[in-house]
Amino acid sequence: MVALSGGVDSAVAAYLLKEKGYDVVGVTMCLGVASQDTGKIKCCGPREIEDAKAVCRALSMSHYVLDFAPELQNFVIEPFIREYRLGRTPNPCVECNRRIKFGALLEKALSMGFDLLATGHYADVEKSEGGCLLKVSNDSRKDQTYFLSRISRQSLTHVVFPLAGFTKDQVRAVAKRENLPVSSKPDSQDICFIPVKGVGEFLKESIDELPGDIVDRKGKVIGRHKGISFYTIGQRAGLGISAGRPQYVLSLDVHLNRIVVGDRKFLSAKGLLADSLNILVDDLPEKACGKIRYAHSAAPCTITLENEAMTVIFDKPQEAITPGQTIVLYDKGIVLASGIIKNVIS
């Protein structure tokens, strides 16, 4: 089973599998219905489904649409809202991969008699008698192992990433050469269930946002915020304050409904405590490189495990470590483990 999103990456993944002689069936996950009233679009919308169907026709494959809207609501959207209520900044794409694509969809594929589930992610799985390893893709610019780091090691035994050895440019070239219907379709960058107006507008429907104080590190009130969910650690723009020099969000105080801001230097911290661990290797080393968000370079660090939690201390302080985000550990292109950032260690 190949998961077809209606985009070029999954289309080329399906083509490559067919070329290798696999018996391939395309499946598109329906995660909700587009609404012109609210501006919400839960992937895949009508256009994505039609594009996926066109790909399957071009490749002489069967195509099915499976409804996973309840799973999206229960496992992704509701936890997303809960995290923001707690003043944390979650990563819904990480949880979608863990709970839906490589959770519910994988279980469905196996129950239907399929041997493998394939997607168009830029990542690699190395399989051996000792188990599976999740590895970075050939295109470092597009590597998506950060978003895949919460998949269980057992699930990886049933997963294949056909684009592992390809760059994005090469994928586009294959799509164009084979005249695939989506060869010129642009990439999708946004969270699928968030309206075009952004996270804040989405959360307005679920969280009673109240204005509150913006304070400096000493507690002095220097402005007003429009609701904590509209802000994230490290944010500079949109604070509506004048302090004579740039100010950044340092922390979100949910209990007092206030935002603490300060100079950029105060964003740096030496480490973090993470829980909800997902360890993908037999033995976790003491030293590795940790990535605190997707658009971040992995930085050398020291790891300590204790009581199902993980302390990560970086060789050099890192900026804007954010509770709720995912920390991913790497070593020589192998994903070692991941966890959810619980606390920042100053």
- Residue positions annotated with a catalytic role: 96, 192
Residues 6+ apart with CB under 8 A from 273: 309, 310, 311, 312, 341, 342, 343, 345
State how far the Cα of 269 lies from the Cα of 214, in Å rounded to an integer: 21
Contact predicate 267/341, CB 8 Å? no
- Taking alpha carbons only, the member of 243, 248, 245, 244 closest to residue 262 is 248
Which residue in 96, 89, 78 sits closest to 205, CA to CA? 78
CB count, 10 Å around CB of 238? 12
What phi and psi, each to the nearest 5 degrees, are found at residue 185?
A: -70, 130
In this structure, are residues 279 and 328 in contact, taking their beta carbons and an 8 Å threshold? no
- The packing angle between helices 8-19 and 46-58, to 10°, is 20
Contact present, 158 and 101 (Cβ < 8 Å): no
Stretch (H or E) spanning 134? strand 131-135
Dist. CA 173–CA 195, nearest whole Å: 32
